[in-house]
Amino acid sequence: MITKRVALVDPASVNLDVTALVQIRTNDHSAEWLDQFQSALEHFPEVVEAYRTSGEIDYMLRVVVPSIDAYDQFYKRLIDAVDLYDVRTIFVMERMKQTTALPLHYLKVD
């Protein structure tokens, strides 16, 4: 099922040279906190992907910004918006593979 059609834009061509992978941990796993977190994410266009994950990290965000300074401003707004236990950021040095294509060879046809 096709859910959406989009145009793919080269991030550098629109001044989005920095990609950050943001690992978030929280001490509050309540439904109320999750609702607050999800609502807050709607106010951050820099967050282009967000996942609830297993293991030591509770949530993972992919953030795109023009600079480290812009990331710092994003970070300050994020920690003001939501009560977080720990935030760690990994800055992407090189994109080695990126695709939106799904591996359809797993498709089961009846």
List Cβ neighbours of 14 (8 Å cut-off, separation of 6 or more).
Answer: none
Residue range 26-61, pLDDT digits in tens:
999 999 999 999 999 999 999 999 999 999 999 999
In this prediction the pTM is 0.91
**How much helix, strand and coil, in percent to the nearest 5, is found in the chain?**
30, 25, 45
Domains and CATH numbers, the chain: 15-94 (3.30.70.920)
At residue 1, does pLDDT exceed 90? Answer: no
